[in-house]
């Protein structure tokens, strides 16, 4: 899958399937996207390859009190992915709307639905949680294995 910013200077390619796709209805995501919820496909950093241009990384306040790092096109400033402090630099939250075919990454789970806008109606079979969730209970076995490998690599580096 490929995607990029609006002006075309920044392009990226994703390797394989996402670890999971979050629709986040928290107020912070609503404000940052200017709409009802964010849609983020989570990938290991090395599976998000920049094929044209390099993003600028903007420190942005987040709910945790520690900065979220948002990767934006240096020219049109569209955000293509971000790092959240909880997951660190190892995981990139790719903004699904910047994919050439965003329909290929439907949400696996809706999170922070306690602040979901009233007029947003989820499909009856949609998985949703009022806030966050236990990764071990929700992620696929394949994704949990990828997470284990990611942690192993991170430990080797330190």
Kindly state the smallest distance separating residue 107's Cβ from Zn ion, in Å.
12
Residues 18-47 that bind Zn ion (CB under 5 A): 24, 26, 29
E strand or H helix at 52, and its extent?
strand 48-52
Looking at beta carbons only, is 24 or 150 nearer to Zn ion? 24
The two three-digit tokens of residue 37, written as one number: 């919820």
**Least Å distance between CB 2 and Zn ion?**
15
Q: How many other CB atoms sit within 10 Å of the CB of residue 60? A: 14
Binding mask 68-87 for Zn ion (x = CB under 5 A): -----x-xx-----------
DSSP code, position 128: B
Sole residue written with tokens 């293509």: 80
3-state helix, strand, coil in the chain (%, to 5): 25, 30, 45
Q: Say whether residue 94 binds Zn ion (CB under 5 A).
A: no
CB of 95 to Zn ion, least distance (A): 12
Work out whether 7 is an interface residue with Zn ion (CB under 5 A). yes
C-alpha to C-alpha distance for 42 and 130, rounded to whole angstroms = 20
Q: Which stretch binds Zn ion (CB under 5 A): 5-13, 64-72, 114-122, 141-149?
A: 5-13
Minimum CB separation from Zn ion for residue 125, in Å? Answer: 22
At its nearest, how many Å lie between Zn ion and the CB of residue 157? 28
Other CB atoms within a 10 A radius of the CB of residue 89 amount to: 11
Q: 69 and 58 in contact (C-beta within 8 Å)?
A: yes
How many residues sit close enough to Zn ion to count as binding (CB under 5 A)?
9
Q: Which residues bind Zn ion (CB under 5 A)?
A: 5, 7, 9, 24, 26, 29, 73, 75-76
């Amino acid at each position: 899958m490929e995607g990029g910013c609006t002006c075309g200077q920044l392009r990226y390619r994703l390797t394989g399937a996402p670890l999971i796709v979050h629709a986040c209805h928290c107020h912070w995501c609503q404000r940052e996207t200017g709409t009802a919820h964010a849609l983020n496909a989570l990938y290991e950093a090395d599976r998000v390859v920049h094929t044209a241009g390099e993003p600028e990384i903007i420190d942005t306040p987040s709910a945790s009190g520690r900065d979220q790092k948002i990767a934006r096109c240096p020219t049109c400033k569209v955000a293509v992915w971000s790092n959240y402090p909880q997951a660190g630099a190892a995981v990139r939250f790719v903004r699904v709307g910047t994919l050439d075919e965003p329909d290929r990454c439907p949400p696996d789970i809706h999170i922070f639905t306690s602040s979901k806008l009233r007029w947003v109606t989820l499909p009856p079979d949609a998985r949703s949680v009022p806030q966050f969730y236990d990764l071990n209970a929700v992620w696929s076995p394949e994704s949990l294995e990828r997470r284990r490998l990611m942690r192993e690599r991170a430990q080797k580096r330190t």
